[in-house]
């Protein structure tokens, strides 16, 4: 059974009714509730002025922390820090690695550009040593990555929950966290394509692994609102630190050293635009109001993917029908919310579709089609018909 939430996305859908938006994995539409939250941020800024931060830290942030903790089955909302983007967290994590030796990093060859670029640049200057495990073949990745993690010798183990360039998953997160052989290693899961898309419970690994994600995609809150769960006892004093990290500090060591809180505040930065928190809180409130769950969204999107593939096959839409489908459909629900097709003309196909107001996105030779809870089953056939017309 699929969802029909069109009435809740009137503002984004109505802004361009002719647009066929198949890039929910890239730029997810906001529900109308998020739009109202955005306007509320302006109203509070005007009404409260200097006092708006009391609302941000006293009402909005705790609301968002509680909701994130519930979605991820985390035991304590206070472990969650917020930032404008996940790269802020990546920098702070890197700044928390041991000094005096070259940090050793274990990761995959399919991480998003932000992390990939940062560690590659540090690698150029010999500041880190990086071991990369190939994501493909996907079926064996969990075992291969866990084996590498178990061998040890790493200061940071960093891997995506869902790979951005394929929609394949890295396997059960608890298994990865449990396999890491170095007790002091930082274990980090990049959940940007997993949070609010793939049902996720961190109950077992909450005390061992960091988890970072944001509202730009499946959390439906737009840019500027990201978060990281920070397990107690790990990376207690990142060198990259902003003044907001002092808010939870109980004092230094008595030697004049910089003080940090023991909870997620130790990874906070500095002054940021809180508008995203308004949107994110509004999204969570809306979901609670209508009883919408991550599980229901996930089931809906997987059903839409199946409908899309069946329609492509029926209509014999080339070049999609002839392309390699990178996303491993055969393994069941272990995939993210987009379909990835690999073909030499991916960029040209993307551009042709864009000229017809059909929105997808492309990464090299891979074109991605993403679906969200604002799509309906009856729209899929129409979208494929429109694509067929463009490529005919």
Which domains, ranges and CATH numbers included, belong to the chain? 6-30+293-391 (3.90.1150.10), 35-287 (3.40.640.10)
Q: Distance between the two ends of the chain, CA-based, in angstroms?
A: 32
List, in sequence order, every beta strand (DSSP E) within 286-360.
324-325, 338-342, 358-359
Q: How buried is residue 184: exposed, middle or buried, by Cβ count under 10 Å (0-12/13-18/19+)?
A: exposed
Q: Is the pLDDT of residue 252 over 60?
A: no
* Cα 198 versus chain centre, distance: 10
Residue 292: partners with Cβ closer than 8 Å, 6 or more residues away: 3, 5, 286, 373
Tokens found for residue 306: 């199946």
Parallel, antiparallel or unpaired: strands 80-83 and 226-229: antiparallel
Segment 208-217 shows an average pLDDT of 97
Phi, psi (rounded to 5 degrees) for 146: -65, -40
Q: Is the pLDDT of residue 328 over 90?
A: no
Q: Is the pLDDT of residue 109 over 80?
A: yes
- Report the 10 Å Cβ neighbour count for 183: 7
- pLDDT one-digit tens code per residue, 185-206: 999 999 999 999 999 999 999 9
Q: Is the pLDDT of residue 251 over 60?
A: no
Segment 301-325 shows an average pLDDT of 95
pLDDT at 333: 59
Segment 6-29 shows an average pLDDT of 97
Q: Decide: helix, strand or coil at residue 129.
A: strand
Segment 151-166 shows an average pLDDT of 97
Segment 242-256 shows an average pLDDT of 77
Nearest-5° Cα angle at 381, 378 to 382: 90
Alpha-carbon Rg for the chain in angstroms? 21
Q: Is the pLDDT of residue 253 over 90?
A: no
Q: Is the pLDDT of residue 117 over 60?
A: yes
| pTM confidence score | 0.96
pLDDT at 123: 98
Q: Is the pLDDT of residue 308 over 80?
A: yes
pLDDT at 331: 59
Q: Is the pLDDT of residue 277 over 70?
A: yes
pLDDT at 175: 97
- pLDDT one-digit tens code per residue, 347-382: 999 999 999 999 999 999 999 999 999 999 999 999
pLDDT at 209: 98
Q: Is the pLDDT of residue 254 over 80?
A: no
Q: Is the pLDDT of residue 219 over 80?
A: yes
Segment 380-390 shows an average pLDDT of 97
Residue 290: partners with Cβ closer than 8 Å, 6 or more residues away: 8
- Report the 10 Å Cβ neighbour count for 255: 5
pLDDT band at 341 (very low <50, low <70, confident <90, very high): very high
Segment 141-152 shows an average pLDDT of 97
């Amino acid at each position: 059974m699929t969802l029909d939430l069109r009435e809740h996305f009137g503002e984004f859908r109505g802004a361009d009714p002719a647009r066929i938006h198949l890039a929910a994995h890239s730029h997810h539409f906001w529900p109308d509730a998020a739009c109202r939250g955005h306007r509320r941020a302006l109203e509070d800024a005007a009404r409260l002025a200097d006092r708006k931060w009391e609302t941000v830290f006293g009402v909005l942030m705790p609301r968002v922390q509680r909701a994130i903790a519930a979605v991820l089955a985390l035991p304590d909302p206070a472990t969650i820090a917020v930032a404008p983007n996940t790269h802020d967290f990546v920098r702070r994590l890197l700044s928390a690695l041991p000094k005096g030796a070259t940090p050793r990093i274990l990761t995959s060859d399919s991480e998003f550009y932000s992390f990939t670029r940062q560690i590659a640049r540090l690698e150029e200057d010999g500041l880190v040593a990086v071991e990369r495990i190939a994501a493909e073949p996907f079926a064996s990745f969990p075992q291969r990555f866990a084996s590498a993690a178990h061998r040890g010798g790493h200061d940071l183990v960093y891997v995506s929950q869902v790979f951005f360039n394929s929609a394949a998953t890295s396997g059960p997160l608890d298994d990865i966290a449990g396999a890491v052989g170095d007790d002091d290693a930082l274990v980090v899961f990049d959940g940007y394509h997993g949070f609010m898309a793939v049902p996720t419970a961190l109950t077992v690994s909450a005390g061992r692994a960091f988890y970072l994600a944001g509202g730009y995609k499946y959390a439906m809150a737009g840019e500027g609102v990201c978060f990281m769960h920070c397990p107690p006892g790990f990376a207690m004093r990142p060198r990259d630190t902003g003044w907001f990290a002092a808010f939870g500090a109980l004092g230094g060591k008595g030697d004049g050293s910089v003080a940090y809180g023991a909870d997620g505040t130790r990874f906070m930065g500095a002054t940021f635009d809180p508008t995203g928190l308004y949107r994110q809180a509004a999204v969570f409130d809306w979901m609670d109001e209508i009883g919408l769950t991550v599980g229901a969204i996930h089931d809906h999107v997987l059903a839409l993917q199946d409908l899309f593939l069946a329609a492509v096959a029926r209509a014999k839409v080339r070049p999609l029908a002839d392309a390699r489908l990178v996303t491993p459909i055969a393994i069941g629900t272990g995939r993210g919310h987009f379909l990835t097709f690999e073909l030499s003309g991916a960029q040209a196909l993307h551009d042709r579709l864009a000229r017809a107001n059909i929105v997808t996105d492309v990464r090299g030779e891979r074109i991605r089609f993403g679906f969200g809870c604002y799509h309906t089953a009856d729209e899929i056939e129409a979208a494929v018909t429109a694509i067929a017309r463009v490529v005919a």
